């Protein structure tokens, strides 16, 4: 067992892990943050996307040890108290989910995109979400949801 | 799925990593971006007893754009994509990176990891071959360099010795009068190359004065197509030349068939993509 310490959603965490522990296992089983999902287990579906030091990663393909000393943000860390993140609001307003399994990963990937590109085109949104699979929506409303969030965030900045 | 147990090291110095490789030999694997290795370990297709993570070795990260371009082996695809000077010097690399995996894969995956893994369907090897790549390798005897042409040996096998580490990749810039392109026929689900072809052309006074063409995804390893290059050299750079050079070009190539594409189909697609890559390289010629 190896001792690690990291910050998850603003809270410090210290614990011991086996080297083979995946970051997603640490989040779900040790910290009980089950919003980060495990879908394919082979780095393709994107249900487990979280931010590691501000960059989106597939938490099923990063070792918990590799997050030692890092800052991790999961879907649970996006909302400000009772106020939803514009992406969370967008997925709700634009019906960007049906079963909801892919949604946390979709939102975390989209949040990474909007940090780097606050006004993406539909093509850029689709390119940025290539690593996230959805079996329900056909993606149209997901693109709309991201566009909704981008507009909300931009108008919030102007005011 | 969880990998079988292993011991984990994250040295901050290159010589320390080599010492660990010497100490653990076949039991150890180097960890770069991990997006090939960790899934393989989760499936228990690989069960290394020791993982040596290279992320803390800062010497392995960075880009230098000079007469040639040098990229540290642990530089991620995303870092390369975000480097405007690099993308201007090598538009073909920037375009290729957009085709690799997805955003999260590119946030972790590295050029050096992709080359050292030598997946037969990886994109980067073909591009490194046509950009006349030189690979810098560090091992117990110090530093050596090797041409990309000599690096890819077989499926998942390179010229790296078990105790050596790929540290940097040096590529030719695409200069005036030169153009390069990489096109792939991507598997619709995995996005790996069913067939990928990279082409580099230099055209002087309307004639091809230098060229390199390489294929990936078709056989056990990425390789140069010297027969195509010989057809092109010193010929007028016109569309019919590219069609002629592609025709029959895959006849003598060793091609693998699998459940995604038969050998015959792949062979046909190699020729289609040679043609398209040459046309695209010619269309991207930079003003001289």
Measure the CA angle with vertex A111, ends B193 and A92; round to 5°: 110
**Is the predicted pLDDT of residue A49 greater than 80, yes or no?**
yes
Pairing of strands B68-72, A71-73: unpaired
Task: Decide if A61 and B2 are in contact by the 8 Å CB cutoff.
Answer: no
Number of Cβ within a 10 Å radius of residue A157: 8
Q: Do B104 and A49 touch (CB under 8 A)?
A: yes
Contacts of A113 in chain B (CB under 8 A): 103
**8 Å CB contact between A134 and A72:** no
Q: Contact B263/B255 with Cβ under 8 angstroms?
A: yes
Whole-number Å distance between alpha carbons of B91 and B86: 8
| Mean per-residue pLDDT, A21-44 | 95
Q: Measured between alpha carbons, how far is residue A72 from residues A12, A106, B144 in Å?
A: 10, 16, 39
- The answer to whether the CB of B104 falls within 8 A of the CB of B187 is no
**A20, A63, A131: residue with CB nearest B103:** A131
Q: How far apart are CA B215 and CA B237, in angstroms?
A: 21
Transcribe chain A into DSSP letters. -EEEEEEETTEEEEEEE-TT-BHHHIIIIIS--TTS---SSSS-S-TTEEEETTEEEEGGGSBGGGGTT-EEE-GGGTSBTTBPPHHHHHHHHTT--SS-SSHHHHHHHHHHHHHH-SS--HHHHHHHTTT---SSS-SHHHHHHHHHHHHHHHHHHH-
Q: Does B9 touch chain A (CB under 8 A)?
A: no
Q: What is the pLDDT of residues B219-235, one digit of tens each?
A: 999 999 999 999 999 99
B192 phi/psi in degrees, rounded to 5: -65, 160
User: What integer pLDDT is reported at residue B243 of this predicted model?
Assistant: 96
Confidence band for A81, pLDDT divided at 50, 70 and 90: confident
Quick check: A91 pLDDT over 90?
yes
Q: Residue A62 pLDDT more than 80?
A: yes
In the predicted model, what is the mean pLDDT of chain A? 96
How would residue A152 be classed by pLDDT, with cut points 50, 70 and 90?
Answer: very high
> From CA A19, how far away is CA B52, in angstroms rounded?
11
Chain A residues with beta carbon closer than 8 angstroms to that of B45: none
Per-residue pLDDT, A157: 85
Q: What is the pLDDT of residue B188?
A: 84
Q: B 23-52 residues with CB below 8 A of A?
A: 34-35, 38-39, 42-43, 51
Closest residue in B to A22 (Cα) is B2
pLDDT in tens, chain B (288 residues): 899 999 999 999 999 999 999 999 999 999 999 999 999 999 999 999 999 999 999 999 999 999 999 999 999 999 999 999 999 999 999 999 999 999 999 999 999 999 999 999 999 999 999 999 999 999 999 999 999 999 999 999 999 999 999 999 999 999 999 999 999 999 988 889 999 999 999 999 999 999 999 999 999 999 999 999 999 999 999 999 999 999 999 999 999 999 999 999 999 999 999 999 999 999 999 987
Q: So what's the pLDDT on residue A42?
A: 85
Considering only alpha carbons, which residue of chain A is nearest residue B98? A127
> What is the structure's pLDDT at B132?
98
Q: Does residue A158 surpass a pLDDT of 90?
A: no
**H or E segment and range at residue B239:** helix B239-246
pLDDT at residue A159 is higher than 80 = no
CB A23 within 8 A of CB A66: yes
Which residues 64-103 of A have a C-beta within 8 angstroms of B? 65-66
pTM for the full model? 0.96
CB B201 within 8 A of CB B229: no
Number of CB atoms found within 10 A of residue B14's CB: 17
Closest C-alpha among B113, B53, B51, B49 to residue B79? B113
């Amino acid at each position: 067992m190896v001792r690690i310490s990291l910050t998850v959603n603003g809270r410090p965490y210290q614990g011991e892990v086996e080297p083979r522990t995946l970051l997603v296992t640490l989040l779900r089983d040790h910290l009980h943050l089950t919003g980060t999902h495990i879908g394919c287990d082979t780095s393709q579906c994107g249900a487990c996307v979280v931010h590691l030091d501000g960059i989106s990663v597939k938490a099923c393909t990063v070792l918990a040890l590799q997050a030692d000393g890092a800052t991790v943000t999961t879907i649970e860390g996006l909302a400000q108290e009772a106020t939803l993140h514009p992406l969370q609001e967008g997925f709700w307003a634009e019906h960007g989910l049906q079963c909801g399994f892919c949604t946390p990963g979709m939102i975390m990937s989209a949040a990474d995109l909007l940090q780097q590109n606050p006004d993406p085109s539909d093509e850029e949104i689709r390119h940025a979400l290539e690593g996230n699979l959805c079996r329900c929506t056909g993606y149209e409303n997901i693109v709309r949801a991201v566009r909704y969030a981008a507009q909300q965030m931009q108008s919030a900045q102007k005011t | 799925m969880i990998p079988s147990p292993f011991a984990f090291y994250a040295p901050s110095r290159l010589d320390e990593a080599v010492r660990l490789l010497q100490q653990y030999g076949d039991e150890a694997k180097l960890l770069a971006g991990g997006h090939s290795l960790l899934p393989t370990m989760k499936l228990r297709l690989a069960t290394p007893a020791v993982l040596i993570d290279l992320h803390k070795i800062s010497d392995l990260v960075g880009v230098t754009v000079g007469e040639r371009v040098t990229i540290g082996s642990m530089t991620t695809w995303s870092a390369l994509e975000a480097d405007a000077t690099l993308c201007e010097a090598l538009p073909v690399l920037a375009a290729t990176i957009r085709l690799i995996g997805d955003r999260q894969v590119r946030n972790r995956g590295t050029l050096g990891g992709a080359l050292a893994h030598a997946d037969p369907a990886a994109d980067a090897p073909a591009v490194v071959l046509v950009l006349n790549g030189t690979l810098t390798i560090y091992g117990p005897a110090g530093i050596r360099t090797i041409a990309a042409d000599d690096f890819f040996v077989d499926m998942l096998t390179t010229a790296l010795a078990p105790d050596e580490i790929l540290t940097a990749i040096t590529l030719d810039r695409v200069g005036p009068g030169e153009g390069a392109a990489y096109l792939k026929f991507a598997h619709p689900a995995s996005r790996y190359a069913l067939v990928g072809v990279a082409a580099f052309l230099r055209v002087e006074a309307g004639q091809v004065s230098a060229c390199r063409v390489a294929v990936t995804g078709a056989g056990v390893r990425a390789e140069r197509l010297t027969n195509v290059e010989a057809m092109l050299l010193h010929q007028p750079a016109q569309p019919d030349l590219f069609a002629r050079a592609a025709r029959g070009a895959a006849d003598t190539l060793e091609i693998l068939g699998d459940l995604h594409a038969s050998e015959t189909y792949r062979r046909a697609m190699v020729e289609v993509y040679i043609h398209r890559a040459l046309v695209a390289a010619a269309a991207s010629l930079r003003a001289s």
